[in-house]
């Protein structure tokens, strides 16, 4: 059997002798790479330290660049990434850092619900799907994306391609940077971060001090309560405890009511304290609104509204 040929060519210019052996990748330039003889195949040479330098130089250059950011988004779930997309697209001048505790960003948005894969979004959230070019079936008052991972992977791919966005995953926000303005009002001025594994093991190690990122606005979209969830909401409660003037108390997420929950989350998305916007399911913990279960339109549109709230803080 003739050796396979990898043809990186435009579809209509397949030139292999036997089409059944062509792996046709739609490359920009028509080029033919032929692995005529796998026995002679080999990659270009490299030294291991070259790979390490290629990774670490870029990472530390990014840390240096984004340690002063305009916006920090905490949590790369559907609300945070939707907000990141809208912000980066409308404001290419802003430096946006996304801090995600998990190695794998995407939050709870890889499945439609209880391990089922189709994802439901109620109208008008399909407008956001149109914007990021995700196909769906139109069912009248709602639409269905054939797999939640199609939505999340498409959104993430678009967000990560913006030059003014940097995702720091496997990194946890473990505190907020605070300031007091002239009137003594608390203002959020950045985040305190650590490798997630360190943040999970502060009790098993001697103190491992964190890192910091200064910024103008923090958008917290860390989801509903959990080991890391509702982070900024819970931190604000401890910074402005019950009984003090201007205390920050949590309403606690209520039971499931799709119709009430989705409207409340989108309409309630806002700057909850100077310098801190909260969106997505984290907001349910602040306002005591209902949960919506396996519908995701509110996450996308809460992200859109959060982007507007962030820009309002910039007064732009
Ligand atoms: O997907 P989530 O959890 O949060 P949202 O608000 O983007 O979307 C919520 C949505 O998936 C639902 O819960 C659906 C609609 N169900 C509703 C219901 O009724 O049950 O993403 C939050 C992200 C996660 O990836 C976390 O790992 C991350 O935030 N995270 C953090 N990242 C950095 N530092 C932290 N302290 C932190 N805490 C959470």
Predicted ipTM of the assembly: 0.99
Q: What three-state secondary structure class fits 233?
A: helix
Query: Whose structure tokens read 């330098």?
Result: 53
Q: Which of 76, 177, 213, 229 to mutate to test the pocket of ligand 1 (most atoms within 8 A of CB)?
A: 229
- Could you list the mean pLDDT of each consecutive 10-residue stretch along the chain, which spans 316 residues? 49 45 47 67 93 98 98 98 97 97 94 90 98 98 97 98 98 96 90 92 82 97 87 94 86 94 97 96 96 96 97 78
Partner residues linked to 72 by β-bridges: 97, 218
Annotated binding site for substrate: 79, 100-101, 108, 173, 209, 224, 281, 291-293
Q: Other C-beta atoms within 10 Å of 299: how many?
A: 31
| Ligand 1 atom at shortest distance from the alpha carbon of 291 | 19
Spatial contact of 246 and 181, defined as CB atoms under 8 Å apart: no
Query: Whose structure tokens read 């559907």?
Result: 78
Q: What is the pTM of this model?
A: 0.90
- What are the tokens at 102? 């998990």
**Residue 39 per-residue DSSP state:** G
Residue 189 CA to ligand 1 center (angstroms) comes to 22
Going 79 to 145 to 292 to 113, the CA torsion angle's sign is: negative
Q: What three-state secondary structure class fits 230?
A: coil
Beta 276-278 vs 270-273: how paired, if at all?
Answer: antiparallel
Which ranges of the chain would DSSP assign to H, the alpha helix? 48-66, 78-90, 126-131, 148-161, 196-199, 231-239, 258-268, 281-287, 297-313
Nearest partner of 78 among 188, 159, 190, 175, judged by Cα? 159
Tell me if 219 CB under 6 Å of ligand 1.
no
φ, ψ at 141 (rounded to 5°) = -85, -10
Spatial contact of 251 and 236, defined as CB atoms under 8 Å apart: no
Q: Which of 79, 281, 290 to mutate to test the pocket of ligand 1 (most atoms within 8 A of CB)?
A: 281
Max distance between CA atoms of the chain, in angstroms, equals: 81
pLDDT attached to residue 212: 97
pLDDT attached to residue 208: 84
């Amino acid at each position: 059997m003739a050796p396979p040929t990898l043809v990186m060519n435009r579809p209509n210019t397949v030139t292999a002798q036997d089409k059944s052996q062509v792996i046709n990748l739609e490359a920009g330039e028509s080029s033919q790479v032929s692995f005529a003889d796998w026995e002679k195949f080999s990659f270009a040479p490299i030294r291991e330290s070259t790979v390490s330098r290629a990774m670490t130089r870029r990472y530390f250059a990014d840390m240096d660049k984004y340690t002063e950011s305009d916006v920090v988004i905490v949590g790369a779930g559907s609300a945070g990434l939707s907000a990141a997309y809208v912000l980066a697209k409308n404001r290419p001048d802003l430096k946006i850092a996304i801090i995600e505790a998990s190695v794998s960003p995407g939050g709870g948005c890889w499945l439609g619900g209880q391990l089922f894969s189709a994802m439901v979004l109620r109208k008008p959230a399909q407008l956001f799907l149109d914007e990021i070019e995700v196909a769906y079936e139109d069912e009248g008052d709602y639409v269905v994306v054939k797999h939640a991972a199609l939505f999340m992977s498409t959104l993430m791919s678009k967000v990560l391609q913006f030059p003014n966005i940097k995702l720091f995953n496997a990194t946890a926000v473990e505190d907020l940077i605070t300031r007091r303005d002239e009137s003594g009002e608390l203002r959020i001025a950045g985040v305190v971060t650590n490798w997630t594994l360190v943040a999970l093991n502060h009790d098993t190690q001697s103190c491992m001090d964190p890192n910091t990122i200064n910024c103008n606005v923090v958008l917290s979209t860390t989801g509903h309560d959990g080991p890391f969830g509702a982070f900024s909401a819970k931190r604000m409660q401890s910074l402005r405890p019950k009984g003090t003037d201007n205390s920050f108390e949590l309403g606690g997420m209520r039971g499931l009511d799709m119709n009430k929950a989705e409207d409340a989350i989108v309409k309630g998305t806002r700057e909850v304290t100077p310098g801190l916007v909260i969106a997505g399911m984290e907001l349910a913990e602040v306002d005591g609104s209902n949960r919506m279960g396996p519908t995701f339109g509110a996450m996308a549109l809460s992200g859109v509204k959060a982007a507007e709230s962030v820009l309002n803080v910039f007064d732009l």
